[in-house]
Amino acid sequence: MASLIGNNKLSLKNQEFKDQTIRSLWLKGVDQLKKYSITDSALECELLVRSALGYTKSEFYSHLPDTVNEHEMILINQLIQRRLIGEPTPYILGTKEFYGIDFNVSKDVLIPRPETELLVDLALAQNKEGCLIADIGTGSGCIAVSIASHLPNLKIIAVDKSIDALRMARKNIMMHDMMDRIDLVNSDLLTAFKPGLKFDLIVSNPPYVPKDIYETLDKEIQLEPTIALNGGTDGLDIIRCLLQQANTMLSDGGSLLFEVFSDNSNEAFRLTSELIPMSRVTMHSDLLGLPRVIEAQKVL
Ligand SMILES: C[S@@+](CC[C@H](N)C(=O)[O-])C[C@H]1O[C@@H](n2cnc3c(N)ncnc32)[C@H](O)[C@@H]1O
């Protein structure tokens, strides 16, 4: 009798997942993510379901009416649960797209943000083909790889203080077959380089969140490395050092481009004019109209 009940239960359970289609699991997941106020829940859930099933976007949409097997259903639910307890989707998937390119990511690196693409646009607009470029605080390597993928004849030195970040950057540089064009250096900003070395372009997305704001950030953002975000008391500790060092390491006519926190961008602009005195300083805004990147071009 007991085994009969057990079998009935099993067949009922089988029935439960037999009825589940990719569409129904996706929609159920979207509802759950919405309840946790996760914006873009439809896209995030699509990415999670696709990752569990190994589907491209078009395969996902063409297979929506298909039923899943038990293993697939468990896998999809596990990924959605991880998202619901606050793990960012790129860390669950292990990848994030930036500038149209896929990058491996883990908790060792900042998740590349779309607003940083402006830095890449501005770097590419300088057309420094054949020049020497430094990417300071490379993290996943997303800025260096994106620039190098559009300018095939330049050399980039990608720097990070975090060895774990450099490991991830190496993985990405290898994946995109750029080992011969991007060198990795473990350094505190530019301190590892010989005095006298000059860069034609220095790009950086430094840690710039003021300490008191950092402490109030969502738990989800605080899962990202502290070293990637916390910019000290006023958020400008690293930027101050970067400006002082860049002043002596930029070639004549060379430029520094760095991302800023919009709240302290005026002070960052003032500091740039003070610490790189022989330069033309420009503030660039992002698509939302927020000050996002400061450019200092050394005048000849
Ligand atoms: C905001 S993240 C930027 C990562 C990546 N470039 C991006 O845009 O996604 C800042 C990076 O700077 C690195 N960093 C922090 N302080 C540094 C320092 N003093 N010298 C070099 N790198 C540093 C962190 O490890 C982190 O990878």
In this predicted structure, the answer to whether residue 124 has a pLDDT above a threshold of 70 is yes
Q: What is the pLDDT of residue 3?
A: 34
Decide if 102 is inside a domain.
no
For ligand 1, atom 5, the nearest C-alpha belongs to: 139
Q: Which of 122, 161, 182, 217 to mutate to test the pocket of ligand 1 (most atoms within 8 A of CB)?
A: 161
Decide if 40 is inside a domain.
yes
Q: How far apart are the C-alpha atoms of 16 and 240, rounded to whole Å?
A: 60
Note whether 125 and 199 are same-domain residues.
yes
Of 85, 120, 135, the position where a domain reaches its end is: 85
Of 185, 83, 189, nearest to 136 by C-alpha is: 189
Q: What is the pLDDT of residue 17?
A: 54
Alpha helices for the chain (secondary structure H): 2-18, 22-35, 41-53, 57-62, 70-84, 89-93, 117-125, 142-150, 163-175, 211-214, 219-222, 226-229, 237-249, 265-275
Of 85, 120, 149, the position where a domain reaches its end is: 85
Question: What is the domain count for the chain?
Answer: 2
Inter-axis angle of helices 163-175 and 142-150, nearest 10: 30
Share of the chain above pLDDT 70, in %: 94
256 close to ligand 1 (CB < 6 Angstrom): no
Q: Which of 160, 182, 184 to mutate to test the pocket of ligand 1 (most atoms within 8 A of CB)?
A: 160
Distance 14 CA to ligand 1 centre (A): 49
pTM of the model: 0.92
207 close to ligand 1 (CB < 6 Angstrom): yes
Note whether 7 and 156 are same-domain residues.
no
Alpha helices for 128-210 (secondary structure H): 142-150, 163-175
Note whether 61 and 178 are same-domain residues.
no
User: Which residues are CB-contacts of 2 (< 8 A; sequence separation ≥ 6)?
Assistant: none
| Per-residue pLDDT tens over the stretch 202-218 | 999 999 999 999 999 99
| Per-residue pLDDT tens over the stretch 82-114 | 999 999 999 999 999 999 999 999 999 999 999
Q: What is the pLDDT of residue 16?
A: 52
Note whether 182 and 278 are same-domain residues.
yes
Decide if 98 is inside a domain.
no
Note whether 137 and 285 are same-domain residues.
yes
Report the nearest atom of ligand 1 relative to the CA of 238.
Answer: 19
Q: Which of 205, 214, 224 to mutate to test the pocket of ligand 1 (most atoms within 8 A of CB)?
A: 205
Range of the domain at 248: 107-298
235 close to ligand 1 (CB < 6 Angstrom): no
